[in-house]
């Protein structure tokens, strides 16, 4: 993201236009990655940071097996 070799498009109008071409006509290109903007947008909905649990599972949700789990090792 720091090299700005990529870009993405944004539009200030949040209404849904009739076609993608109409949207693109009114949008502007922003250099770089969209991840930083998305991260900033998500933070307004997130709670504060907290420490990770020391162990997995709970009284309601028991640990089934150690990570990564059997399903990860299964061939499709």
Residue 74 is assigned to a structural domain of this protein: no
pLDDT tens-digit readout, 12-69: 988 999 999 999 999 999 999 999 999 999 999 999 889 988 888 889 999 888 888 8
Q: Is the pLDDT of residue 1 over 80?
A: no
Instruction: Give dist(CA 2, CA 4) in Å, integer.
Output: 6
Q: How many domains does the chain have?
A: 1
Mapped onto helix, strand or coil, the DSSP state of residue 31 is: strand
Instruction: Give dist(CA 37, CA 44) in Å, integer.
Output: 12
Widest distance between CA atoms in the chain: 55
Report field, pTM of the whole predicted structure over 0.85: no
Residue 56 is assigned to a structural domain of this protein: no
% of the chain beyond a pLDDT of 70: 97
Domain that holds residue 38: 1-48
Residue 16 is assigned to a structural domain of this protein: yes
Residue 54 is assigned to a structural domain of this protein: no
Residue 26 is assigned to a structural domain of this protein: yes
């Amino acid at each position: 993201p720091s090299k700005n070799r990529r870009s993405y498009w944004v539009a200030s109008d949040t209404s849904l236009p009739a076609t993608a071409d109409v949207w693109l006509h009114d949008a502007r290109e922003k250099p770089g990655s969209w991840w930083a903007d998305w991260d900033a947008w998500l933070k307004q909905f997130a709670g504060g940071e907290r420490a990770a649990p020391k162990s997995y599972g709970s009284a309601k949700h028991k640990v089934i097996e150690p990570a990564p789990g059997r399903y990860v090792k299964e061939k499709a």
